[in-house]
């Protein structure tokens, strides 16, 4: 994953637990204290950072991923991708429906980008169904937090549930957002 992801984990740990905690997380994960945003890092380093942050902050890894997803949507995306995000639309469904297009545009900046695919069914009875496909395993809690954070960012009261888990042979998870 790109250094921007790893640096965002660093920022989350710094904000929630401080410098000393980040030093311990970086050492535990075998990482440096900082990351070059545009450099590509092995996915295993990112997973190691999440695991180390989870241990340091005494938070189960799935909850750490969820918090990171929310943090990404509320803090990092507006700072780093505000123009792209704003061009996808104004409402929650519009933004979600535009994520694949946004990822395609970002590939010009990040040639090694391997984003998930996000599909969205038309809203029905105050329910938005999101289809998440990724080659990376175990990131569904991140997606839950990301969806919660997008709703928060757009001032949409919502609750997110995972309706279907991805499996080793089917990388398709389904989320439902009640708005």
Domain boundaries, the chain: 3-59, 62-178
Q: How does pLDDT run across 20-67, given as a tens digit for each residue?
A: 999 999 999 999 999 998 899 999 999 999 999 999 999 999 999 999
Using CA atoms, how far apart are residues 93 and 52, in angstroms rounded to an integer? 34
Strand duo 172-178 + 127-133: pairing: antiparallel
Phi, psi of 172 (to 5 degrees): -110, 115
CATH class as words, domain 62-178: alpha beta
Q: Taking the model in full, what pTM does it have?
A: 0.91
At residue 84, the pLDDT reads 61
Classify burial at 169, counting beta carbons within 10 Å of its beta carbon; exposed 0-12, middle 13-18, buried 19 or more: exposed
At residue 87, the pLDDT reads 67
3-state helix, strand, coil in the chain (%, to 5): 55, 15, 30
- Which residue has tokens 């888990």? 165
Beta bridge partners of 54: none
At residue 90, the pLDDT reads 74
At residue 169, the pLDDT reads 65
At residue 86, the pLDDT reads 67
At residue 107, the pLDDT reads 79
Determine contact, residues 40/112, Cβ cutoff 8 Å: yes
114 — pLDDT class (breaks 50, 70, 90): confident
At residue 85, the pLDDT reads 66
* Widest Cα–Cα separation across the chain: 48
Using CA atoms, how far apart are residues 52 and 160, in angstroms rounded to an integer? 26
Residue 17: pLDDT above 80?
Answer: yes
Residue 153: pLDDT above 70?
Answer: yes
Residue 11: pLDDT above 80?
Answer: yes
At residue 106, the pLDDT reads 74
Please count the residues of the chain: 179
Q: How does pLDDT run across 62-100, given as a tens digit for each residue?
A: 999 999 999 999 999 888 777 766 666 678 999 899 888
């Amino acid at each position: 994953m790109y250094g921007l992801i790893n640096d965002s984990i660093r920022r989350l740990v710094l904000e929630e637990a401080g410098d000393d905690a980040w030093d311990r997380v970086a050492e535990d994960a075998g990482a440096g204290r900082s990351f070059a945003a545009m450099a590509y890092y092995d996915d295993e380093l990112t997973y190691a950072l999440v695991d180390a942050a989870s241990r340091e902050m005494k938070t189960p890894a799935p909850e750490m991923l969820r918090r990171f997803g929310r943090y990404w949507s509320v803090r990092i995306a507006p700072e780093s991708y505000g123009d792209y995000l704003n061009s996808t639309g104004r409402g929650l469904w519009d933004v979600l429906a535009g994520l694949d297009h946004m990822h395609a545009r970002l590939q010009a900046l990040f040639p090694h980008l391997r984003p998930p695919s996000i599909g969205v069914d038309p809203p029905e009875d105050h329910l938005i169904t999101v289809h998440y496909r990724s080659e990376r395993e175990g990131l569904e809690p991140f997606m839950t937090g990301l969806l919660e954070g997008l709703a928060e960012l757009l001032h949409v009261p919502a609750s997110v549930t995972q309706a279907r888990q991805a499996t080793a042979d089917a990388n398709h998870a389904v989320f439902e957002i009640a708005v």
